[in-house]
């Protein structure tokens, strides 16, 4: 009975903290500008393709298979959690064994995925730490992001090992006819590793089984809360992020309603233009901080896996510029974490003397060619370009801090109606000496 009480308290506390933290992140994301997105059936199809079938990760088939082992393993093995929870609450043992012949088959599938997850995690640890793959060692991958990735992989290995230990110790006890461990059939993996446990006494096996069982469940509950502070949050948020991705072409800038209205009125002074809501405009051209971006940008930030595929594909980064799209997204998340609760308390105009541009320099922003390679490569459909463009818009329209070449181009557009330094009348002068007629 004491075990059941401890289990229930641990379970409720862990899930309470987990949902509290998720609700907090949800409120942080809501501090940003509103954005209406229409429901479309296409969103579900895309979700199934990118999130469930992992289509973007499979661009590299080997890595795709390993990642899929971890992802599908995570989902499938969690079904076993259902049994652990029932057993923990009611003090039962192998409560789903009533499924009969299907049960050992089911556990064997879980065990297959447990081994596959261990295998994939070991390879990923090796790739990160021994092979030192460049994208995991870029400048923004400071001590914490690298440690975070290692912690996640090591915890996953430990959780998988503990569940295999439970099954192995359990089945040896069952084969000895222990009254609390009924024989429910042989399992795929632990059937093979059973000999490692057969030399142990009953009491040692019971201790080992209980220890591994508690280690697994407490480990899962701690991990559940850990991921909400880590890049592993993508395992949850990437579903929403992919679902809410816009259907516009990548890199398309969102018009600002007030500017659009101005242009419409210039073209037709009697045009009827809707007044943009103050909330939609946020009282600012572009964005200088997280709360002036759109909520989808903030959702992007919390969905980032820090995989660096965007940076590895970025031509600016490859050619030695300061820009790394992953850093842009990581900086945004850090800034939201730093200011979220203050914006909630003090409102949008909260000021701590810093902003997102304290973390991201103009050099980084202006290095972007808006080629969209980062969006194309991102396995969870994050759009760093949208953030870059809004920050640039702020620099230009609010601060007048465009690079010299752009200022010259702006002046030409204003004076000549074109980006070139010629008046409209002189534009075709170069055609005069051609050997053929152009008119
Ligand atoms: S759009 Fe900008 S940030 Fe993205 S890959 Fe191209 S240059 Fe890099
Ligand atoms: S933005 Fe996408 S591609 Fe870039 S690090 Fe994050 S998840 Fe990876």
Q: What is the pLDDT of residue 234?
A: 94
Other residues' Cβ atoms within 10 Å of the Cβ of residue 148:
18
Q: Which of 19-23, 153-157, 172-176, 241-245 has the lowest mean pLDDT?
A: 172-176
Q: At what angle do helices 202-226 and 2-30 cross, to 10 degrees?
A: 20
Alpha helices in 130-201 (DSSP H): 143-175, 190-193
Residues with Cβ within 8 Å of residue 62, at least 6 apart in sequence: none
In this prediction, residue 276 has a pLDDT band, given cuts at 50, 70 and 90, of low
Core vs surface per residue 17-26: b (16+ CB within 10 A) or e? ebeebeeebe
How far is residue 259's CA from residue 253's CA, in Å, rounded to a whole number?
13
Instruction: Choose which residue among 251, 371, 383 to substitute to test ligand 1 binding: the one with the highest number of ligand atoms within 8 A of its C-beta.
Output: 371
Judged by average pLDDT, the poorest of 15-24, 80-89, 307-316 is 80-89
Instruction: Give, in degrees to the nearest 5, the angle at Cα 386 between 385 and 388.
Output: 60
Which residue, judged by its Cα, is nearest atom 6 of ligand 2? 304
For residue 387, is pLDDT > 70? Answer: yes
Instruction: Between 176 and 295, name the one with better pLDDT.
Output: 295
Percent of the chain whose pLDDT exceeds 90: 57
Distances (CA, A) of 240 to 336, 359, 381, 387: 18, 27, 10, 18
Closest ligand to residue 305's CA: 2
Distance 322 CA to ligand 1 centre (A): 12
Query: Tokens standing for 27?
Result: 């409120």
Distance in angstroms (rounded) separating the CA atoms of residues 324 and 313? 10
Assess whether the C-beta atom of 373 lies below 6 angstroms from ligand 2. Answer: no
pLDDT at 253 over 90: no
Distance 264 CA to ligand 2 centre (A): 38
For a ligand 1 pocket test, name from 249, 308, 323 the mutation site with the most ligand atoms within 8 angstroms of its C-beta: 323
The answer to whether 254 touches 360, Cβ cutoff 8 Å, is: no
Question: Which residue reads 């089911």 in tokens?
Answer: 106
Whether 145 is in the pocket of ligand 1, judged by its Cβ within 6 Å, is no
pLDDT higher than threshold 80 for residue 273: no
State the closest ligand 2 atom to the C-alpha of 330, by its place in the atom list counted from 1.
Answer: 6
309 Cα: distance to centroid of ligand 2 (angstroms): 6
pLDDT > 70 in the chain, percent: 98
Ligand 1 neighbourhood includes 382 CB (under 6 angstroms): no
Q: In this structure, what token pair is assigned to residue 229?
A: 């502070």
Residue in 311, 312, 335 with CA at minimum distance from that of residue 324:
311
Task: Tell me how far apart the alpha carbons of residues 59 and 64 are, in angstroms, rounded to a whole number.
Answer: 7
Q: Please give the backbone phi and psi of residue 8, each rounded to the nearest 5 degrees, phi first.
A: -65, -40
* Separation of alpha carbons 360 and 173, rounded Å: 59
What distance in angstroms lies between residue 375's CA and the mean position of ligand 1's atoms? Answer: 8
**367 and 322 in contact (C-beta within 8 Å)?**
yes
* pTM score: 0.89
Distance CA 362, CA 322 (A): 10
Within a 10 A sphere around the Cβ of 368, how many other Cβ atoms? Answer: 24
């Amino acid at each position: 009975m004491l075990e059941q009480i401890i289990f229930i308290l641990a379970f409720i506390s862990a899930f309470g903290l987990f949902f509290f933290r998720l609700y907090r992140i949800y409120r942080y994301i809501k501090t940003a500008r509103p954005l209406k997105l229409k429901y479309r059936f296409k969103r579900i199809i895309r979700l199934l393709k990118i999130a469930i079938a992992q289509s973007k990760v499979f661009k590299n088939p080997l890595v795709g298979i390993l990642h899929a082992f971890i992802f599908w393993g995570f989902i499938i093995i969690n079904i076993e959690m259902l049994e652990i929870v029932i057993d923990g609450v009611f003090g039962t043992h192998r409560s789903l064994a009533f499924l009969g012949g299907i049960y050992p088959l089911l556990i064997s599938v879980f065990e297959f995925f447990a081994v596959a997850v261990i295998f994939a995690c070991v390879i990923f640890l090796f790739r990160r730490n021994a092979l030192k793959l460049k994208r995991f060692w870029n400048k923004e991958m400071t001590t914490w992001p690298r440690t975070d990735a290692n912690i996640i992989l090591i915890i996953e290995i430990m959780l998988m090992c503990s569940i295999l230990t439970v099954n192995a110790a359990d089945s040896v006890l069952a084969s000895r006819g222990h009254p609390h461990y009924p024989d429910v059939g042989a399992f795929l993996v632990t059937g093979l590793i059973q000999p490692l446990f057969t030399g142990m006494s009953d009491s040692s096996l019971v201790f080992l089984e209980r220890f591994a069982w508690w280690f697994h469940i407490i480990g899962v509950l701690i991990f559940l809360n850990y991921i909400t502070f880590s890049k592993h949050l993508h395992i949850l948020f990437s579903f929403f992020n992919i679902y809410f991705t816009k259907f516009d072409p990548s890199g398309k800038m969102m018009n600002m309603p007030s500017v659009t209205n101005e242009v419409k009125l210039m073209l037709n002074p009697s045009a009827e233009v809707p007044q943009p809501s103050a909330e939609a405009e946020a009282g600012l051209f572009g964005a200088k901080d997280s709360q002036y971006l759109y909520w989808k940008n903030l959702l992007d930030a919390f969905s980032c896996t820090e995989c660096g595929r965007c940076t590895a594909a970025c031509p600016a980064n490859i050619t030695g510029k300061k820009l790394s799209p992953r850093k842009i997204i990581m900086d945004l998340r850090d800034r939201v974490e730093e200011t979220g609760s203050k914006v909630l308390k003090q409102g949008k105009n909260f000021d701590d003397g810093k902003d997102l541009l304290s973390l991201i320099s103009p050099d980084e922003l202006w290095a972007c060619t808006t080629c969209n390679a980062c969006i194309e490569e991102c396995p969870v459909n994050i759009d760093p370009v949208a953030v870059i463009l809004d920050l640039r818009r702020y620099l230009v329209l609010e601060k007048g801090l465009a690079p010299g070449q752009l200022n010259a181009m702006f002046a030409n557009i204003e004076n000549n109606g074109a980006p070139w330094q010629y008046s409209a009348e002189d534009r075709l002068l170069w055609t005069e000496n051609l050997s053929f007629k152009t008119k």
